[in-house]
Chains A and B, each alone.
Chain A
């Protein structure tokens, strides 16, 4: 070969030989060959163009020297100064003689094609390896089902992996919440804040049948999106925008929809697990709070009844849930007097329990400062109004007993009437003297008095007892309560409570307790 290259000095061939060793420095080798061709033919510059495997315009492979050589040449527009070669052509400037006779041109074309083939193999090797990365990513997201239960962390992981796998410049992960798709994570720029779950334009886009909504990834020119579903129920969607290549950005090829779909399937399971885990944690937190609230409420309710000279006294409460809206207190006052309180907060559960706590604090505070009278409830009403939600109210029966005289002063704010069973069998009601607390500002209340005679029994109760329901919707009612009281009125008061409790349970015939139940029983001992 050196003999057929008259312009090539021996040093050039040694140099080319070194460049073509085991570790071929292809670009330098081809560059030197092209420079030698120019030198051999007196060309100022030359460029080698090769036909791509898929056909189409000739692509610039390399250039040397001076001259304008475009990146691509239309196959139909062969330059005037060019030499056809197998698989391409050599373009040169200016015109030179006997350009086609030099074997360097053939060597250059053959070597360039080999080098291109080598690069193609390298690219294919890269693509095969990258398929491995895709499979690993899918596998890893599957593993994340077990490893990552943090929804925010998982969302970021899913979005970043999807964007990197598909060479996307932009991306967004939307999750369904309250009938809307809301952006949980975005990547590479802003995304539209939310879409209605039944947005037809969006649904058409996710099924591949329509362009993306304009505000999905503002500024992105090419978008791809797939739904995230669990058993055909939408949980969200993944969207990516602008597929990158070395030449810029372009559309996503059809295979990318399949890849993103596979990814979304894995992500759906992972996201569902994370969502369920978050729900379980939330439930656990609420349970802990309820336990704490129940404990606080147990501390609020009296541990036992105070000793009242000449009287028997007992209080009892059973909430329908962990924490309840019923409240009672048996509070010893100065001079041997005792205060009896029974309140019922509208609603049940935690909100009612918070109101109970408010009522307890206010009662303790105000009872220490003011005597029992209408103004007491009026101040309490103002306090409850100011410190509670607008839809909450409290019925309350508050009484104060002077044991030395049996005189019982009471105030009833919308509570069901207490019952006074006279020794002779007669019944008197401790009726209402005003509307429930917390309903209206400026409410007025009326104080009333009775005298509890020896052998008389007072029963203050919450409607959880009289409104206990049987399977046929009949209520336990005041008459059944009175019958119980009459039948057991001379037994120890705790036994009377137990009888009433058992009677309501029997009446409900297995139905769960629907409302909190509270009782206060006060009996004046026989002289």
Chain B
């Protein structure tokens, strides 16, 4: 088990899927934010964060995800999450992330939902 986070991106015709693997903490959150803002600079306004490889997120990581959500609202883009563990999904609901970003059970339904 490592504390670092691996982030990979799959660009798909106007929609980018960001895959994470590891701990979303301060460093991990910054890594996601860097990738997300780069995608916005490239013109992607619809982002999907697939957290299938993440079992743990802390409050710093959540605050950075909220900043990404605020940025997406600012540019009138869309952000979705998918493949969350039950614990992370519950955390996102309590912390209010689910009010401003959509949560999907799997990647297929997320891509379809964000494109609709």
**Residues of A bordering B, CB below 8 Å:** 25, 126, 129-130, 132-133, 136-137, 140, 160-161, 163-165, 167-170, 186-189, 244-246, 248
Q: Which of A25, A163, A170 is B56 in contact with, Cβ under 8 Å?
A: A163
Q: Check: B104 CB closer than 8 A to any chain A CB.
A: no
> Which residue of B60, B66, B74, B91 is within 8 Å of A246 (Cβ)?
B60
Nearest CB of B to A181, in Å: 19
A187 — nearest CB in chain B belongs to which residue?
A: B1
A25 contacts across to B, CB distance below 8 A:
74
Q: How far is the CA of A161 from the CA of B60 in the complex (A)?
A: 14
B70 to chain A, nearest CB (A): 10
Count of B interface residues, CB-CB < 8 Å: 22
From B26, B90, B91, B95, contact of A244 by CB (8 A): B26
| CB within 8 Å of A: which B1-42 residues | 1-3, 23, 25-26
Instruction: Give every chain B residue within 8 A of A164 (Cβ-Cβ).
Output: 56-58
Question: Can you list 8 A-B pairs, Cβ within 8 angstroms, ordered by A?
Answer: A140-B87, A163-B58, A164-B56, A167-B58, A188-B1, A244-B26, A244-B58, A245-B60
Name the residue on B nearest A140 (C-beta). B87
* A246 partner residues in chain B, CB cutoff 8 A: 26, 60, 63
Residue of B nearest to A168 (CB): B58
Q: How far is the CA of A140 from the CA of B86 in the complex (A)?
A: 11
Q: Please report the C-alpha to C-alpha distance between residue A511 and residue B3 in the assembled complex, in whole angstroms.
A: 61
| In the A-B complex, the 3 residue pairs with the closest CB atoms | A188-B3, A167-B58, A164-B58
A169 to B91, CA, bound (A): 19
Q: A133, B95: Cβ atoms under 8 Å?
A: yes
- Decide: B3 and A187 in contact? CB cutoff 8 A: yes
Verify A167–B87 contact, CB threshold 8 A.
Answer: no
Contact between B96 and A129, CB atoms less than 8 A apart = yes
| Cβ 8 A contact of A167, one of B60, B74, B90, B95 | B60
Q: Which residues of A contact B25 (CB under 8 A)?
A: 167, 169, 244
> Please, how many angstroms separate the alpha-carbon atoms of A239 and B57 in the complex?
18
Contact across chains for A130 and B1 when beta carbons are under 8 A apart: no
Within B37-94, which residues are at the interface with A (CB < 8 Å)?
Answer: 55-60, 62-63, 66, 74, 87, 90-91, 94
Q: Quick check: B56 and A160 within 8 Å, CB to CB?
A: yes
Chain A residues near B23 (CB-CB < 8 A)? 188
Please name 8 further chain A to chain B contacts, defined as beta carbons within 8 Å, in addition to the given A126-B59, A136-B94, sorted by A numbering. Answer: A126-B95, A137-B87, A164-B56, A167-B25, A170-B3, A188-B1, A244-B26, A244-B60
Question: Contact: A189 with B55, CB < 8 Å?
Answer: no
B63 touches A136 (CB 8 A): no
CA distance A245 to B61 in the complex (A): 10
Q: Which residues of B contact A248 (CB under 8 A)?
A: 26
Docked CA distance A169–B23 (Å): 9
Cα A132 to Cα B23 with chains together (Å): 21
Q: What is the bound-complex CA distance between A118 and B58, given in angstroms?
A: 23
Which partner residue on chain B sits nearest A170 by CB separation? B3
A130 lies within 8 A of B95 (CB) = yes
Q: How far is the CA of A216 from the CA of B23 in the complex (A)?
A: 21
B91 & A133 in contact (Cβ 8 Å cutoff): yes
Chain A residue with the shortest CB-CB distance to B96: A129
CA of A501 to CA of B93, assembled, Å: 73
CA distance A165 to B90 in the complex (A): 13
| Distance of B25 from chain A, by nearest CB (Å) | 6
The answer for the CA separation of A124 and B80 in the assembled complex, in Å, is 25
Q: Which residues on the A side are within 8 Å of B66 (C-beta)?
A: 126
A127 nearest CB across to chain B (Å): 8
Knowing A170-B3, A186-B1, A244-B26, say if A129 contacts B94 (CB, 8 Å).
Answer: yes
Contact A130 B2 (CB under 8 A): no
Using Cβ atoms and an 8 Å threshold, which residues of chain A touch B58?
163-165, 167-168, 244
Residues on the B chain within 8 Å of A132, using CB: 94
A133/B2 contact (C-beta < 8 A), A161-B87, A167-B60 known: no
User: Which single residue of chain A is at the shortest CB-CB distance from B88?
Assistant: A164
For residue B60, which residue of chain A has the nearest CB? A244
Alpha-carbon gap, A280 to B54, bound state (A)? 33
Kindly state the separation between the CA atoms of A215 and B54 in the bound complex, as whole angstroms.
28
**Given the complex of chains A and B, what is the CA–CA distance between A186 and B3 in angstroms?**
11
Q: Let me know if B56 and A129 touch, CB within 8 A.
A: no
The smallest C-beta distance from B90 to any residue of chain A, in angstroms, reads 6
Distance in angstroms between the alpha carbons of A186 and B2 in the assembled complex: 10
CB distance from A214 to the nearest CB of B (A): 20
Tell me, rounded to whole Å, the shortest Cβ–Cβ distance linking A249 to chain B: 8
Contacts of B90 in A (CB 8 A): 136, 140
Partner of B26, one of A126, A136, A245: A245
Instruction: Scan residues 101-115 of chain B and give those whose CB is less than 8 A from a CB of chain A.
Output: none
Residue of B nearest to A127 (CB): B59
Residues of chain B with a CB closer than 8 A to A133's CB: 59, 91, 94-95
Determine how close the nearest CB of chain B comes to the CB of A133; give it in whole angstroms. Answer: 5
